[in-house]
């Protein structure tokens, strides 16, 4: 099988973590019938420098024709003073819109080897954590009718059947590959849009009889995430609630250098990127933790290329590297040996080749 991957290294540590991730992908695909072809595209600050705008048409066209998009990070101080149309981050919004990506998947995985990074009590996380937060990305209050006058302002929260059903399908399909449990988060005790959300999530649930569905109010979900996080498998929710809960779930796991993400639409084409930004403070110093991007690539294999075995091979190798004591600076305890970006990747690769 041949797959065309659009690669967008971006700015700051983006190119560093992407370079390492491609090494891991190549080792994963070695001696299989899978061929991964990479084409690099510009987006973000480097695109402003080279092409005069954050998201060149060539990048949009190239990503649309690919099987998946792997992105490093965009942005940096150099472009911070430009007008709002020229912000490097516009490239991300533009790509999501151009590719019709309406679902954001953010796994919050706490490796048992890194429990010291978790702000929760040890007894709450002794078995590690593995939660998938699925956020609706293109609807809800962020995109509803809005306005203001001198004394007031308003934003409208509207969700329609098709928007709810399509994100619910993403959640149930993800649950089928995981713990077969979906928690749908809303505020149905107060919001009409949440009552509609519940109705259509329940309708979709009927198509997935193996998956258990429960509903939770968002205030309770925020509390349960820190009180008893192990109860969650897949959380599905709207744009604003997802924005908040995905950050809360991420913080439970500790380092930003460990968090992957995927954005999906109606087709298998998805965009995969680490949650972190371009980290200008550490770029060019071999200090970046490449694991968030490496695990984003594993998500790409699973969700866009349907190569679950290869995804698991990479994830297991990351897990073993951590068990062997491999630590970049951001996840090391005082006194622990610190690996460079390249050395951390080597540690992952060594475990894949065993
Ligand atoms: P950031 O995520 O880049 O960095 C926050 C802190 O985390 C920094 O101290 C950084 O050194 C550290 N860090 C981040 N990734 C790391 C990694 N892989 N390994 C080790 N340490 C890591 O967030 P920021 O500093 O707020 O933003 C920097 C730039 O990135 C800004 O221009 C911002 O707009 C942009 N940004 C881009 C994205 C994206 O491309 N998706 C996301 C967030 C921020």
The residues with which 3 forms a beta bridge, in sequence order, are 36
Atom index in ligand 1 nearest the CA of residue 290 equals 18
104/212 same-domain check? no
Query: Which residues does 248 contact at the CB level (< 8 Å), separation at least 6?
Result: 222, 225, 226
Q: What separation in Å is there between the alpha carbon of 277 and the centre of ligand 1?
A: 3
CATH for 33: 3.40.718.10
240/279 same-domain check? no
For the record, the structure tokens of 351 come out as 């475990």
> How many CA atoms are closer than 13 Å to the CA of 300, on its beta-carbon side?
30
C-alpha to C-alpha distance for 255 and 289, rounded to whole angstroms: 9
CB atoms within 10 A of CB 81: 7
Q: What separation in Å is there between the alpha carbon of 155 and the centre of ligand 1?
A: 29
Mutation pick for ligand 1 pocket among 279, 331, 339 (CB with most ligand atoms within 8 Å): 279
Mutation pick for ligand 1 pocket among 276, 286, 329 (CB with most ligand atoms within 8 Å): 276
**Helix locations, the chain, DSSP H:** 14-29, 45-51, 57-64, 90-98, 161-176, 192-205, 218-227, 239-252, 291-303, 308-323, 341-352
For 33, counting Cβ atoms within 10 Å of its Cβ (0-12 exposed, 13-18 middle, 19+ buried), the class is: exposed
**Nearest alpha carbon, ligand 1 atom 23:** 277
C-alpha to C-alpha distance for 247 and 276, rounded to whole angstroms: 11
Q: Is residue 88 part of a domain?
A: yes
Count of structural domains, the chain: 2
**Nearest alpha carbon, ligand 1 atom 10:** 279
Domain final residue, candidates 213, 229, 252: 252
Mutation pick for ligand 1 pocket among 86, 277, 294, 344 (CB with most ligand atoms within 8 Å): 277
136/101 same-domain check? no
For 70, counting Cβ atoms within 10 Å of its Cβ (0-12 exposed, 13-18 middle, 19+ buried), the class is: buried
> Tokens 């290294």 identify what position?
9
Atom index in ligand 1 nearest the CA of residue 17 equals 18
265/248 same-domain check? no
Ramachandran sector of residue 335 (left: φ over 0; alpha: ψ -120 to 50; beta: rest): left
Ligand 1: residues with CB < 6 A are 13, 73-76, 89, 92, 256-257, 273, 276-282, 288-289, 292, 330
Residue 125: the pLDDT is 87
Residue 326: the pLDDT is 96
The residues with which 8 forms a beta bridge, in sequence order, are 71
Q: What separation in Å is there between the alpha carbon of 337 and the centre of ligand 1?
A: 23
Domain final residue, candidates 191, 220, 252: 252
Helix (H, G, I), strand (E, B) or coil at 124: helix
Helix (H, G, I), strand (E, B) or coil at 44: coil
The residues with which 110 forms a beta bridge, in sequence order, are 129
The CA-atom distances, in angstroms, between 135 and each of 35, 36, 216, 238, 259 are 31, 29, 15, 6, 15
Q: Is residue 114 part of a domain?
A: no
CB atoms within 10 A of CB 148: 9
C-alpha to C-alpha distance for 161 and 159, rounded to whole angstroms: 7
pTM: 0.91
> Tokens 């954050």 identify what position?
54
**Nearest alpha carbon, ligand 1 atom 27:** 277
Could you list the pLDDT tens digit for every one of the 354 residues in the chain?
999 999 999 999 999 999 999 999 999 999 999 999 999 999 999 999 999 999 999 999 999 999 999 999 999 999 988 887 788 988 998 999 899 999 999 999 988 888 887 888 888 888 888 999 999 999 999 889 999 999 999 999 999 999 999 999 999 999 998 999 999 999 999 999 999 999 999 999 999 999 999 999 999 999 999 999 999 999 999 999 999 999 899 888 877 899 999 999 999 999 999 999 999 999 999 999 999 999 999 999 999 999 999 999 999 999 999 999 999 999 998 899 999 999 999 999 999 987
Atom index in ligand 1 nearest the CA of residue 87 equals 34
304/189 same-domain check? no
Residue 333: the pLDDT is 87
Atom index in ligand 1 nearest the CA of residue 330 equals 20
Residue 279: the pLDDT is 96
C-alpha to C-alpha distance for 171 and 135, rounded to whole angstroms: 9
C-alpha to C-alpha distance for 77 and 87, rounded to whole angstroms: 11
The CA-atom distances, in angstroms, between 112 and each of 211, 231, 251 are 26, 17, 15
For the record, the structure tokens of 22 come out as 């491609």
For the record, the structure tokens of 81 come out as 């003073």
Q: What separation in Å is there between the alpha carbon of 281 and the centre of ligand 1?
A: 9
Q: What separation in Å is there between the alpha carbon of 165 and the centre of ligand 1?
A: 33
82/148 same-domain check? no
DSSP 244: H
C-alpha to C-alpha distance for 219 and 225, rounded to whole angstroms: 10
Q: What separation in Å is there between the alpha carbon of 135 and the centre of ligand 1?
A: 21
Q: Known catalytic residues?
A: 142, 187, 219, 243, 247
Ramachandran sector of residue 65 (left: φ over 0; alpha: ψ -120 to 50; beta: rest): alpha
Domain final residue, candidates 226, 252, 278: 252
195/271 same-domain check? no
Atom index in ligand 1 nearest the CA of residue 289 equals 19
**Nearest alpha carbon, ligand 1 atom 22:** 257
Q: What separation in Å is there between the alpha carbon of 262 and the centre of ligand 1?
A: 17
123/175 same-domain check? yes
> Domain of 150?
119-252
């Amino acid at each position: 099988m041949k797959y065309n991957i659009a690669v967008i290294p971006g700015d700051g540590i983006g190119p560093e973590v992407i370079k390492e991730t491609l090494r891991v992908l190549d080792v994963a695909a070695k001696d299989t019938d899978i061929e991964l072809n990479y084409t690099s595209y510009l987006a973000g600050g480097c695109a402003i420098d080279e092409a005069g705008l954050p998201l060149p048409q060539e990048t949009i066209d190239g990503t649309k024709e690919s099987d998946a998009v792997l992105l490093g990070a965009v942005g940096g101080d150099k472009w911070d003073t430009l007008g709002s149309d020229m912000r490097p981050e516009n490239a991300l919004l533009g790509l999501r819109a151009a590719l019709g990506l309406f679902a954001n998947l953010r796994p919050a995985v706490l490796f048992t080897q890194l429990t010291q990074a978790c702000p929760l009590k040890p007894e709450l996380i002794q078995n590690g954590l593995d939660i998938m937060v699925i956020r609706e990305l293109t609807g809800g209050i962020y995109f509803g009718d809005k306005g203001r006058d001198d004394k007031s302002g308003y934003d409208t929260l509207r969700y329609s059947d098709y928007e709810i059903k399509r994100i619910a399908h993403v959640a149930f399909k993800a649950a089928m590959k995981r713990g077969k449990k979906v928690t749908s988060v809303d505020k149905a005790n107060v919001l009409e849009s949440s009552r509609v959300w519940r109705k259509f999530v329940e309708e979709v649930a009927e198509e997935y009889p193996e998956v258990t569905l429960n509903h939770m109010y968002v205030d309770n979900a925020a509390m349960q995430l820190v009180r008893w996080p192990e109860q969650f498998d897949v959380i599905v929710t709207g744009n604003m609630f997802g924005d908040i809960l995905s950050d809360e779930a991420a913080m439970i796991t500790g380092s930003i250098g460990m968090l992957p993400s995927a954005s999906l639409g109606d087709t298998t084409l998805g965009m995969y990127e680490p949650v972190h930004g371009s980290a200008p403070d550490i770029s060019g110093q071999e200090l970046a933790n490449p694991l968030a991007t490496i695990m984003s690539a594993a998500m790409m294999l699973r969700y866009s290329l349907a190569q679950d075995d290869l995804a698991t091979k990479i994830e297991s190798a990351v897990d073993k590297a951590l068990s062997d004591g491999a630590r970049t600076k951001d996840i090391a305890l005082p006194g622990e040996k610190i690996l460079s970006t390249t050395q951390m990747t080597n540690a992952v690769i060594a475990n894949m080749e065993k």
